[in-house]
Structure 1
Amino acid sequence: MKKERAVLPDGLIVSAPASGAGKTTLMLGLLGAYRARGVVVQPFKSGPDYIDPAFHLAASGRVSVNLDSWAMDRARIAGLIGAAAGAELILAEGSMGLFDGVAAPGAAGTGASADLAALTGWPVVLVVDVSGQAQSAGAVAAGLARFRPGVRVAGAVLNRVASPRHEALVRAGMAEAGIAVFGALPRRAEMALPERHLGLVQAEETAELGRILESAAAFVAAHVDLAALRAAAGATRLAAAGPARVVPPGQRIALARDRAFSFVYPHLVEGWRQAGAEILPFSPLADEAPDPTADCCWLPGGYPELHAGRLAAAQRFRQGLRRFTARRPVHGECGGYMVMGQALIDREGQRHEMAGLVGLVTSFARRQMHLGYRDAELLAPIPGHAAGARLRGHEFHYSTIVEQPDPALARVRDAAGATVAETGSRRGTATGTFFHLIAEAA
């Protein structure tokens, strides 16, 4: 008997002309406002991001999933959209500006939010920061609406409106451009989320998160026509498929999970579980060692540089990790890879001894941003992936390599095909990369 595909709700993509326009504020406010009215909303995030999905979960009560058109093919995206089964509305938060992506297409696009709109059929709600302009905002919105066939702009929400007179002028420009306006958010400095040294803040580290989310929901509900915006949602064109196969790194996976190790994509962990793997979480910051009965240990990225002293003092964790790697594989991504190294130098220049599984020494005293998609061909196996496999991922950190004496783990290129010096490394059963895995290339 043929299995029926899940019926998925209509959806919208919250995007903007540029970063910093207020997408996250509107997204969190909408999630909270609809939830308060009993509407079950499934959140998604376009592109490689760990921070926003955690806020989405807190606001909506449902796990937010990353959808990435550069790293994921159409079938994988379709499978992940199946997470919306049982919801009444889909809201996907875009990244950067609507059409911003890399120059060379990947698996299903350039990583731009517009690619996701074209694939899924979800119309776009533009968040337009109208500070410093009036009727010209209509021209900006109209340009975005007409830029690419197959991407439909449902309308706009005006942000950082200075006064009723300012709002009237902007609305006049939008009307002339034929752009519907779903609401206007006045300037409100206290709605801004805090930032970190990387421009990132984790949901669990946000003081008074509940109050902030309640405030955002009330703010958006007071200034946005929720009924009209929901009515503008479009049918999900990309039919839900079965979940794409994910090969887990082991049957029993010791997974580091705390404030220093939190950057792992939900779709990967869920994919491991769906494949029958058992996740065994442990906290290095609490000086816990990986479960010795696990088949492998996975150290995600995060903020080890903020906790370098505690990690250096966590003898049970470090010794347990060394004992584990003597028998079974350990893999680290970015921050996890740095902790596997010989030492980590913090931004004050103080050296902290790490686990010493590989010879890597990194420094935050000499900051240099490394950002972008990565296409890696493995020169040696890592848990779940054989030598020769091509992995797609994303890298974002400010650390500098001081020493890397071990053999390279992979040939790594950026989205444009240029060689990347951060190759990762390997020593015995220990492997690590600076990029975070998103998906294996087909």
Structure 2
Amino acid sequence: MAQTPPGLLISAPSSGTGKTTVMLGLLRALRDTGLTVQPYKSGPDYIDPAFHLAAAGRASFNLDTWAMDTGLLDGVAQQSQGADICVAEGSMGLYDGVATRGQMGFGSSAETAKRMGWPVILVVDVGGQAQSAAATALGFRAYMPDLPFAGVILNRVASPRHERLTRLGMDRAGLPVLGVLPRRGDLTLPERHLGLIQAVEHPDLEAAIAGYADFLRDHVDLDAIRAAAQAGAAPAGGALPKPPAQRIALARDAAFSFTYPHLLSGWRAAGAEILPFSPLADEAPDPSADLVWLPGGYPELHGGTLAAAETFRAGMRRHAETRPIHGECGGYMALGAGLVDKEGTRHEMLGLLGLETSYEKRKFHLGYRRAVLRAPMPGFAAGAALRGHEFHYTTILKEADDPLAEVADADGNPVPETGARRGHVTGTFFHLITGEAGA
């Protein structure tokens, strides 16, 4: 059995409690002490890992008990080799997941912490309460008695009196207080319709992270946090996903950036070459590429630029004549015939699929997806079962191609966004996490 570095998971009772800024400040503060810090994200989030990389200086990976099987989860855990400590960020509330079991569990952060053997630090927003906050924290500790629990960080504390009263409650509940963060309005990250803006778009991300680290150093007990970290045993086996081609041209810029890090690491580890190009800079994919992959992102914010990128458009059309192209979510939208932005302006897209989408007519799509392919797509044969995640506000106005897959949500209910295929081109609204065993 290979031992993983000691680790912790930062979670909260719900979203919006400040755990992301705590996470980023803690990653940088620990790194500044000379530690090699391995960040992780529990769940299918594809925005936070880029912020983690900026804070820790080391690629962050997703751990997902619904989508991933034991082999993949162990393969992702092995990315911590060489690190001194692992710090994972939970998603939503600590116990939030789906109703139907997936490959290993229901997708909650608590499952990730238990599986990895990492104690939980609960970030509790104590605004509007004092001793009562302890009842909330105590309930979270007691809900899963065998879950390792390190203690709490109190966030948005209004005054020394507020801190004293809140600590009294935590002391009575027997909950260690690892930090007390005063209320500060500037400790937030900019957001847009999918949550945080992308790390590459932040106007001064380095200064923001340095500020979070200073704030954490002043108000948390770093030594106690380090001492609370625990190591779990991970099997020596495990593997990351194999590449769908040898030479992969990957769109990479502010319009196309959402790719799960474990996929890229798996592709590279197996010897694939990743050839980045920027559609926004009007770059064509490498003409020697075996496959073009358009990730998700925000093409709806750059419709005019993409419509005018003639070198990019011509290169994509040439590639599609003989070799495969695959797009996910935003990449899928860009492969379509047209995209309507939030102002109602239609922009001509690549036209490699008949898809017409609108961001003017917003409809929220969120959740895990299981897809059984009706036709092959890069890396997978027809009949393969895939696991992924969908998160967008786009409405489909028209689909004019053959459906790619039978798609269902986490509970097995059919999802109308089935993806599309035409010739060598395929696309899906879900972001691929993994194929099921045998895929």
Q: Same fold (TM over 0.5)?
A: yes
Match of 2:262 among 243, 262, 267: 267
Aligned twin of 1:42: 38
Aligned twin of 1:15: 11
Residues in 2 aligned to 1:370 and 1:184: alpha-carbon distance in whole angstroms = 36
The secondary structure found in structure 1 opposite 2:322 is coil
Residues in 2 aligned to 1:33 and 1:213: alpha-carbon distance in whole angstroms = 9
Superimposed CA distance per residue, residues 33-87 of structure 1 (whole angstroms, 9 cap, x where no aligned partner): 1111111111000011121111111111100011111100122111111111111
Match of 1:231 among 213, 227, 230: 227
Match of 1:87 among 83, 87, 93: 83
Residues in 2 aligned to 1:322 and 1:258: alpha-carbon distance in whole angstroms = 20
Residues in 2 aligned to 1:10 and 1:280: alpha-carbon distance in whole angstroms = 35
Match of 1:356 among 348, 351, 354: 351
Match of 1:220 among 209, 216, 225: 216
Residues in 2 aligned to 1:245 and 1:232: alpha-carbon distance in whole angstroms = 29
| 8 Å contact kept, 1:6–1:85 | no
Aligned twin of 2:374: 379
Code of the aligned partner of 1:428:
G
Unaligned runs of at least 5 residues, structure 2: none
Match of 2:409 among 402, 409, 414: 414
Code of the aligned partner of 1:180:
P
CA drift of 1:410 comes to 0.2
TM-score (norm 2): 0.98
Residues in 2 aligned to 1:199 and 1:42: alpha-carbon distance in whole angstroms = 23
Aligned twin of 1:71: 67
Match of 2:174 among 178, 182, 197: 178
Aligned twin of 2:433: 438
Match of 1:124 among 120, 125, 128: 120
| 8 Å contact kept, 1:8–1:86 | no
Residues in 1 aligned to 2:310 and 2:146: alpha-carbon distance in whole angstroms = 56
The secondary structure found in structure 1 opposite 2:257 is coil
Aligned twin of 1:393: 388
Residues in 1 aligned to 2:168 and 2:240: alpha-carbon distance in whole angstroms = 50
Residues in 1 aligned to 2:236 and 2:294: alpha-carbon distance in whole angstroms = 30
CA drift of 1:209 comes to 1.0
Residues in 2 aligned to 1:167 and 1:83: alpha-carbon distance in whole angstroms = 39
| 8 Å contact kept, 1:70–1:111 | yes
Code of the aligned partner of 1:127:
V
The secondary structure found in structure 2 opposite 1:412 is strand
Deviates more, 1:204-213 or 1:374-383: 204-213
TM-score (norm 1): 0.97
CA drift of 1:6 comes to 4.7
CA drift of 1:240 comes to 4.5
Residues in 1 aligned to 2:61 and 2:257: alpha-carbon distance in whole angstroms = 15
Aligned twin of 1:57: 53
The secondary structure found in structure 2 opposite 1:380 is coil
Residues in 2 aligned to 1:438 and 1:302: alpha-carbon distance in whole angstroms = 16
1:294-373 mapped onto 2 (5 Å cutoff): 294-373=289-368
Matched, 1:427 2:425: no
CA drift of 1:354 comes to 0.5
Aligned twin of 1:193: 189
Query: Identity of counterpart residues, as a percentage?
Result: 63
Residues in 2 aligned to 1:428 and 1:107: alpha-carbon distance in whole angstroms = 32
Matched, 1:287 2:282: yes
Following superposition, which runs of at least 4 residues in structure 1 exceed 4 angstroms of deviation?
Answer: none
CA drift of 1:247 comes to 2.5
Aligned twin of 2:25: 29
Residues in 1 aligned to 2:184 and 2:242: alpha-carbon distance in whole angstroms = 46
Superimposed CA distance per residue, residues 72-124 of structure 1 (whole angstroms, 9 cap, x where no aligned partner): 01221111111111111110000000000000110111110011011111010
Code of the aligned partner of 1:425:
A
TM-align CA RMSD: 1.0
Unaligned runs of at least 5 residues, structure 1: none
| 8 Å contact kept, 2:352–2:422 | yes
CA drift of 1:152 comes to 1.8
Code of the aligned partner of 1:307:
H
| 8 Å contact kept, 1:7–1:85 | no
The secondary structure found in structure 1 opposite 2:369 is strand
